[in-house]
Amino acid sequence: MNIKFPDTICGILSRLVDEEVIIIFRTGEREKVKILAVSGDVVVVKCGNNIRFINCDCICSVIIDCVDIIDKCFPFSSNQ
């Protein structure tokens, strides 16, 4: 089985569209957001009633529920 895990923050976030995550910025600030889209190295998120466009270079890590990340990044078929 050959599954390629994303090798960038934007690559991971692109698989998490419609999921709520906690983004930790390089400044140390953290923010709970919903991922709306990823285009190139920009992630579009919803935070409260605001839409934000964030360069992935500003993000140092992402926290998400382990079940969500396994389902989105390792799409195993139940038939295997």
57 or 1, higher pLDDT: 57
For 20, phi and psi rounded to 5 degrees?
A: -90, 130
Residue range 33-73, pLDDT digits in tens: 999 999 999 999 999 999 999 999 999 999 988 776 666 66
According to the model, what pLDDT value does residue 3 have?
65
Tell me what the mean pLDDT of segment 12-24 comes to: 92
According to the model, what pLDDT value does residue 80 have?
46
Tell me what the mean pLDDT of segment 20-31 comes to: 95
Domain ranges, ordered by start, for the chain: 9-65
According to the model, what pLDDT value does residue 66 have?
78
Classify domain 9-65 by CATH number. Answer: 2.30.30.100
